Structure 1
């Protein structure tokens, strides 16, 4: 008999079990965000297994450059490829498990997986954000046991697992009574207006709102919503969809289109009264932590939760995790908005790191492509005193940084991966390296290490199936992209190895450095005439050691500049040695310290490249 109520979950089975401990410091880790449905179905061949040995038994061959565009050669083919991107494509727990070696060799140490719980039936919610049953894994991905086995295997390979979770809303689990929102022209428009709508009923397994809007024990597992505690009156705000995404209380009370908002409680942050629904969801997620031995959660849409609800969830999750030996269980909060708002919210709710603040992604991408002054990105990690912190190294584990993701809300209707244009493809390693060697917990969006170039007017184009199938990357069909010989993969793996071996790149203070073309006039690199084609250098300092890194935003020509270094750490005649360059001939070269602008060294960075001196 399946468990249908949180109250009946068997926590006793975890007594005496040893759980995988938390890492000492999350800033030491490199995250890799993947959409499970779009990563691997386990049917590939001619890739390397966990031990680096060739796998020859699968059916899907590697993607070749000549295969790019093979799915869109005719209008009918292109339509078939586009439509495939709207549906489940076949990624599974077992598929991801088979590619952990690929991730480990890249240098990934924590994988962030899109939501995996059972989705509302009859809807192609492959993304996982439309949960209907919080007590079960979605069968498209596999069984709960396969999730548990995946995490155990990841731990054996030195990779932590962070699961994307949703507390703010459920899937489209009920239908509104159409009489309440039928407009004069005969259309339906259930917009938020501050008043609750009448509900027609919970949806049955076919997606029709034919079930009573109340306890329905016989609807397991695909009808209504589970656990059964969520079927009680008052679980859902039922006020219709959000139109104004920054208007309070609309953005807290409204639905995400068809995703139904859950009433989480009421009251001020310090005196919040969690609803029975919030208590039930929190208990369910505590169970998943122990069952699968998870290491962290990425908490979806924290901005749309009451601060008191987010604090209750964070406190209860942290306490439970600590009770089973996970003292540093990581809660990454999706909090959009300016830096001050994001960090005030982060500290108020007690989560560990912020995702999406102050357009980190847009500024990082704009910097590398020469469209944004570098100071706009680096200044996000300065002025820590304004936040009540004594050093900007506080940011090292309080922000997750990236430049591509699965929805790119910041770009509106025209969405594109970083490498979608020709310059982006040439600058891929520069973007990956900048993200990995500056402050914060770096996060790589799946496929970036293969220079995926998805673009279009819909999120689907950012969510290519890495294993090929009907919706493969580069508008292809039938070829996988687990290519460990790809230049971006190989070079980035070396950068991440240096990050692991040089503590300053993970924990050091950070400074954007002034440059000079003649060794006399120095200034920060900045955009002139609409485009910056320049060396952009920065330093990481830790315990008397300085590491100097630099990218070249010019994708076509090498650039040379004098770069300021710390005046007190270096003397004239000292040198720093090139530990990495996208031109291997540069490695091992010494850059001599000279008395210019205090102290400076002269660097040359290859076209669209990255260098690191230490």
Structure 2
């Protein structure tokens, strides 16, 4: 009897062991993804919609072990998804336990963490006109960790010989050169996207994302990205994420198993955008033209997200907030902002700004008319004519960029040369906030300024001085400060060249002054001097802008904040010009001396002032 009892007990233990292992297997196999992967207590928006993904997950009912209010459980036509909305108000940081049941029996449990929020997280200060933004493409900037150049499971491997290949730059490369960027005078970094992009080719630009909760392993890890922010904040610098709301990549895991048919725009299947953003506000637009602009795919490999679907919109809102909170971000640049469903992107933007009222978001609105660009800025009176408010604080000044592409090649004329600069700023009355416009010579999608002007140092001085001292937030594209070229006509790869010295095998290291050519050093030293002056100039950051009609291709303007006054002169002539200073007395107001920032010279400002040909002057009065 004792022997039989022993075997009976052993049998029971063995059965429990088998059951536990089966149970464990079911847990691991049943839930493949939880997004957001965790959240925070004490957020302004107390509801959180959690996506549970796994084979036939919708067959289960959901409850929690804790006293948590479940406001809704949504099933879609795809049984692999459950969207569970909970109320987090008054919940302390803790680990929640979601029970998944069938026939009133709990089959498995999923933990979910509510983390403690960083103190004053909601009050973080975004980028502003006090900043200079340094735009870089991580794959082309610097390779700090060669071990992650190619990664198993990701299709596109290292191929530095190919213009459209992955070259190996990464987050560690950015961290390694933060001192260089800070020393240059930049105070913020806008990196093109870093999230996973598993396209088979051209994935280095990372705008066709395949997992929006994961840094691409070829750039590093989520922790590396957070470490980048920490390193920057120690230097009083700001980190801006390039966020994509309009589309994902065709390799995104959700695109391969859509939660709903209308998660993306379908025609059915693929149709390309006509790219005519004017149809978003054209009162005479045909329905079919408006449809193909907003709902058409940007390219075949980038399925167009449907922000009018509440599930999609909530997913995008939560993902954006998750990254701000997790990585401690200071701003977003939003790709293809005006291609989105405009009501959806407005709600997305407002939700983020409600959570972080001092945050900043700049939308890419690539249009060539100030009224049309203004339509997309927060509180635009033009948008209000159609009862529309984007709530987007900042937009990009593409009309100024258009003018900069040829103004320094032109002689004086009614609408040429420096008159183009004046004419751009004349239309500032259309914008609700000109200090929140992003101004730039170029970016990762345009021709390189130093290609257009054939590395002409004088033109670079005039151009950079203009964007660094006018209203708005200046943005510098990596490598401009060392005269980097790039021909848009040869393809995007040519305007996204590797920064020399970012790879150990490079023959030259332009991060080091000792290795720069004479031309590179002249560009760099000028950039450094100008941007570091700007860093401490309240008049440039916030001051009133008063400008004068250009005469003889010379453009003069003032920035004033109380007693802080700066006078800027841009001589676009080959010849020296003599200015009659009596014309500017309403701003000079009897001031007779000033220091020219770029040369360090003390100036007498009485009746006449000479300025050399093709030269800028920045005078601290």
Q: State TM-score, norm by structure 1.
A: 0.70
The offset of 1:146, in angstroms, is 0.4
**Secondary structure, counterpart of 1:154 in structure 2:** helix
The offset of 1:492, in angstroms, is 1.8
In the other structure, the counterpart of 2:283 is none
CA distance in structure 1 between the partners assigned to 2:448 and 2:417 by the alignment? 21
In the other structure, the counterpart of 2:498 is 465
CA distance in structure 2 between the partners assigned to 1:262 and 1:564 by the alignment? 58
Q: CA contact under 8 A between 1:109 and 1:159: conserved in structure 2?
A: yes
Over 3 Å counting, the alpha-carbon distance change for 1:452 and 1:18 in structure 2 is: same
Structure 1 residue 380 and structure 2 residue 424: aligned? yes
The offset of 1:166, in angstroms, is 0.5
Matches within 5 A, 1:134-533: 134-173=212-251, 223=253, 225=255, 231-239=259-267, 240-242=270-272, 244-246=274-276, 247-266=289-308, 274-320=309-355, 322=356, 327-337=357-367, 338-347=369-378, 348-357=389-398, 359-370=399-410, 372-386=416-430, 394-397=433-436, 399-408=437-446, 415-422=447-454, 424-455=456-487, 456-467=489-500, 478-484=507-513, 486-514=521-549, 524-525=550-551
In the other structure, the counterpart of 1:211 is none
CA distance in structure 1 between the partners assigned to 2:506 and 2:127 by the alignment? 41
The offset of 1:608, in angstroms, is 4.2
Q: CA contact under 8 A between 1:130 and 1:172: conserved in structure 2?
A: yes
Over 3 Å counting, the alpha-carbon distance change for 1:369 and 1:537 in structure 2 is: farther
Q: CA contact under 8 A between 2:571 and 2:616: conserved in structure 1?
A: yes
Gaps of 5+ in 2: 1-27, 41-112, 147-157, 277-288, 379-388
Structure 1 residue 567 and structure 2 residue 585: aligned? yes
2:210 to 132, 140, 148: 132
The offset of 1:318, in angstroms, is 1.7
CA distance in structure 1 between the partners assigned to 2:440 and 2:588 by the alignment? 32
Q: CA contact under 8 A between 1:429 and 1:609: conserved in structure 2?
A: yes
2:167 to 76, 80, 89: 89
In the other structure, the counterpart of 1:42 is 144
Over 3 Å counting, the alpha-carbon distance change for 1:113 and 1:571 in structure 2 is: closer
The offset of 1:3, in angstroms, is 7.1
CA distance in structure 1 between the partners assigned to 2:417 and 2:177 by the alignment? 38
CA distance in structure 2 between the partners assigned to 1:559 and 1:453 by the alignment? 30
2:566 to 536, 547, 571: 547
Q: CA contact under 8 A between 2:125 and 2:358: conserved in structure 1?
A: yes
Q: CA contact under 8 A between 1:97 and 1:150: conserved in structure 2?
A: yes
Matches within 5 A, 1:47-126: 84-126=162-204
The offset of 1:28, in angstroms, is 0.8
The offset of 1:552, in angstroms, is 3.0
Deviations 1:114-151 (A, max 9, x none): 11111024223101100111121111101111001111
The offset of 1:385, in angstroms, is 4.6
CA distance in structure 2 between the partners assigned to 1:144 and 1:153 by the alignment? 14
Q: CA contact under 8 A between 1:262 and 1:277: conserved in structure 2?
A: no
Deviations 1:15-34 (A, max 9, x none): 24236653377111111111
Gaps of 5+ in 1: 45-79, 174-221, 267-273, 409-414, 515-523, 527-533, 595-600
The offset of 1:236, in angstroms, is 1.2
Over 3 Å counting, the alpha-carbon distance change for 1:560 and 1:370 in structure 2 is: farther
Q: CA contact under 8 A between 1:559 and 1:607: conserved in structure 2?
A: no
The offset of 1:355, in angstroms, is 1.5
Q: CA contact under 8 A between 1:42 and 1:98: conserved in structure 2?
A: yes
CA distance in structure 2 between the partners assigned to 1:90 and 1:405 by the alignment? 20
Q: CA contact under 8 A between 1:369 and 1:423: conserved in structure 2?
A: no
CA distance in structure 1 between the partners assigned to 2:453 and 2:202 by the alignment? 30
CA distance in structure 2 between the partners assigned to 1:232 and 1:558 by the alignment? 67
Structure with bigger RCO (C-alpha 8 Å, 6+ apart): 1
In the other structure, the counterpart of 2:118 is 17
1:593 to 588, 599, 606: 606
CA distance in structure 2 between the partners assigned to 1:265 and 1:613 by the alignment? 49
Q: Find the structure with the greater CA-based Rg.
A: 2
Q: CA contact under 8 A between 2:141 and 2:498: conserved in structure 1?
A: yes
CA distance in structure 1 between the partners assigned to 2:512 and 2:354 by the alignment? 41
CA distance in structure 2 between the partners assigned to 1:265 and 1:42 by the alignment? 37
Q: CA contact under 8 A between 1:513 and 1:563: conserved in structure 2?
A: no
1:578 to 592, 595, 598: 595
Deviations 1:266-294 (A, max 9, x none): 4xxxxxxx431221122112111111111
Moved more, 87-96 or 249-258: 249-258
